[in-house]
Amino acid sequence: MYSKYQNPLIERYASDKMTYIFSPKMKFSTWRKLWTALAKAEKELGLNITDEQIKELEENIYNIDFEVAKKHEKRLRHDVMAHVHAYGDVCPKAKGIIHLGATSAFVGDNTDIIVLKDALELIKGKIANLLYKLKDFSIKYRDVPTLGYTHFQPAQITTVGKRATLWMIDLVMDYNDLVYVSNTLMLRGVKGTTGTQASYLKLFNNDHDKVKKLDTFIAKEFGFKDSLAVTGQTYTRKIDSRVINVVGGIAQSLHKMTNDIRLLQNLKELEEPFGKNQIGSSAMAYKRNPMRSERISSLCKFVISSTMSPQLVAATQWFERTLDDSANRRLTLAESFLAIDASLDIANNIATNMVVYEKVIKKHLDAELPFMMTENIMMEAVKKGGDRQELHELIRVHSMDAGSKVKVEGKDNDLLERIANDTKFDLTLSELKKIAEPSLYIGRASEQVEEFIISEIDPILKENADVLGEDVELNV
């Protein structure tokens, strides 16, 4: 076990549900479901297939002997035919009608589409769960003023809750992209060796209507609106690119969110959960590293970089198909989903127990707010008869001196005291402190949180009510 490479996405990070979706059991049982559906449809449309054969196929969908299939593949050098034979071994009555009229892409490509749709559905629920937790966070802290940053330099005041909506709106876009792509996915269907349906047309004695019905039957059997109108031997690899682009978009959003969390943890304003016995550093026992956010950042870089592979595959296929897609797709499709699945689980874990340090936030506000309120100070002084241009110059000078105290001498910001002592302003320290109430400078931040949640978040949560509220325990 320990003498061979182990995939960390499976061993350490991804959920059991996602690893099952991309498992051999899921893959090959879906192949058998497709063969069974094909036989049922062909029987219904008049081919000589019996109920007894269908029943035998249905009863053995999960009766897969992987060792037998491996032996067949070693002999035949063809994975699909190996599993045709393995299925036939346990279905002797139906053996002769398994895979009738089909090419390998019938099971391979249709299964891939089914797997991608299931994976998107699992991811969809995890995004909804993350939005559910971030909603609670943003409401709880929607009125808590905090320094806004542009260029990571102090800017106008926002609120802790409003900042969380910036993470959420990216995820809303991802959610909507995911739903659109998932809802417009169609099966490859029954298209034959080069997509012309020639083998099926021969099976049904040139009855075009029956061939079209067969195609539609398979799609409906697996919950799709329809199958693709045209294909080569495979479905267009543009589909893989569309799907993985959605996954890459989610990775971008999570990476951005956790970058912010890491920066805020450095400022000691916010902290991701930290286990009771968790060790931040082997040497520095006091450290509380944002390791969950860093792990998301690491995994999401992998996902973002992986979006290029499906694009290259889609762009370089020749005519009806070439096989230079196969090995690439085995890696890219599964591992992109495993990585984003893990990233969303970690993000859900973080969002469940994020800690906000309001006193540190206030300390940072107090250090910068006097500079930000200078315009309000001027207006109040002008109301008392001061000259706006003269006051502007005085405030500029006082601000430079106060800034020097903070940056050069490492002392507290004393701008308000300087202005209170300048008779030209005619403002007491008490009056200045009233103007220094942070909530006066947050604009519509609180209202924006509420409006955004009502218009954008609540509809998504309503659509996913059955999967909300799950807590995530991480493997490591």
DSSP state of 187: B
Q: How far apart are the two ends of the chain, measured CA to CA in Å?
A: 20
Catalytic residue among 3, 99, 199, 281: 281
Q: Tokens 């030209």: give the residue.
A: 424
Catalytic residue among 72, 99, 104, 151: 151
Question: By the 8 A CB rule, do 45 and 213 touch?
Answer: yes
Give the phi and the psi of residue 193 in degrees, each rounded to 5.
-65, -40
Strand extents, DSSP E, 187-312 = 270-271
Question: By the 8 A CB rule, do 121 and 338 touch?
Answer: no
User: In angstroms, what is the C-alpha Rg of the chain?
Assistant: 31
Residue type, 118: D
Q: Tokens 């207006």: give the residue.
A: 379
Q: Each residue of 389-403: b (16+ CB within 10 Å) or e?
A: eebeebbeebbeebe
CA dist 190 → 43, 129, 133, 197 (Å): 15, 37, 43, 7
Residues 6+ apart with CB under 8 A from 113: 185, 186, 187, 188, 224, 235, 239
d(CA 45, CA 96): 18
Question: By the 8 A CB rule, do 435 and 415 touch?
Answer: no
DSSP per-residue codes, 89-152:
HH-TTTGGGTTTT--HHHHHHHHHHHHHHHHHHHHHHHHHHHHHHHHHHHHHTTT-EEEEEETT
* Residue among 39, 338, 389 nearest 218 (CA): 39
Q: How many CA atoms lie within 13 A of 112 on its CB side?
A: 22
d(CA 95, CA 82): 13
Question: By the 8 A CB rule, do 161 and 446 touch?
Answer: yes
Tell me if residue 281 is catalytic.
yes
Give catalytic residues, as residue numbers: 151, 281
